[in-house]
Structure 1
Amino acid sequence: MKIQFNTDKTISGEERNQNHFTSVIEENLKRFESHITRIEVHLSDENGKKEAINDTLCLLEARLEGRKPIAVSCKADSEALAISGATDKLKSTLNTIFGRLHDQEKMISKIQ
């Protein structure tokens, strides 16, 4: 699973932050790593340098093997909270998708 970071001009793309956030994402999505080929992380500050509540947006786009990409987003006060929130949403979505797939496979095996 490859993780690619994209930031707008107001967010610094420091490598140490990327390494930390990469490890957070990998740890939370470890269960699905065999199904995910790439995750694109898009971080942006919607108000630029101005301070505001929930102005950091994290959009995660997961590329799955043999399926359409999935995108989730989260707005929060900081990069860490936005990434954490988006990762939780992606994990929940993947649980739903692969849970349904597992249920379908069980039904097919019962029929055969």
Structure 2
Amino acid sequence: MKIQFNTDKTIQGDERHEGYFTDQIAKELDRFQSHITRIEVHISDENGKKEGIKDIRCLLEARIEGRQPIAVSDQANTIEQAVSGAIHKLKASLGTILGRLQNH
């Protein structure tokens, strides 16, 4: 499972942040890794440099073998909260989709 990390110009995407979030995503989605070929992470600040409530957005797009990609997003006050929320949503979606496949 390859994880590709992308940020917009207002979010600092240094190697330390990228490594931390990549490890967190890989750990949380470990049980699905045999079905996922790639995950794309897109982090952006919806208001740019202006302050705002829940203006950090994390979009996770999972490429599943033999299926259409699925995407989930979460908005929060911090990057950590947005990534965590998106991971939670992606785990729920993958559990539903892959659970249906195993039942058939």
TM range (shorter): over 0.9
Gaps of 5+ in 2: none
What CA RMSD, in Å, does the superposition of the two structures yield over aligned residues? Answer: 0.6
Asked whether 1:56 is paired with 2:56, we answer: yes
The separation in 1 between residues aligned to 2:4 and 2:58, in whole angstroms, is 13
Partner of 2:25: 25
- When normalised by structure 2's length, the TM-score is 0.97
For the pair shown, the structure with the greater C-alpha radius of gyration is: 1
Partner of 1:77: 77
Q: CA deviation at 1:53?
A: 0.7
In the alignment, residue 19 of structure 1 is paired with which amino acid? G
Pairing of 1:1-112 with structure 2 (within 5 A): 1-104=1-104
The separation in 1 between residues aligned to 2:2 and 2:64, in whole angstroms, is 11
- When normalised by structure 1's length, the TM-score is 0.91
The separation in 2 between residues aligned to 1:36 and 1:100, in whole angstroms, is 16
Residue by residue, what CA displacement relative to the aligned partner does 1:68-94 show, whole Å, maximum 9, x if unpaired? 100000000011110110011000000
Q: Percent identity?
A: 64
Which structure's residues are more often helix, by fraction? 1
Q: How many residues align?
A: 104
Runs of 4+ residues over 4 Å off in structure 1: none
Gaps of 5+ in 1: 105-112
Q: CA deviation at 1:30?
A: 0.2
Residue by residue, what CA displacement relative to the aligned partner does 1:35-75 show, whole Å, maximum 9, x if unpaired? 10100000000111111110000000001111110000000
The separation in 2 between residues aligned to 1:99 and 1:39, in whole angstroms, is 19
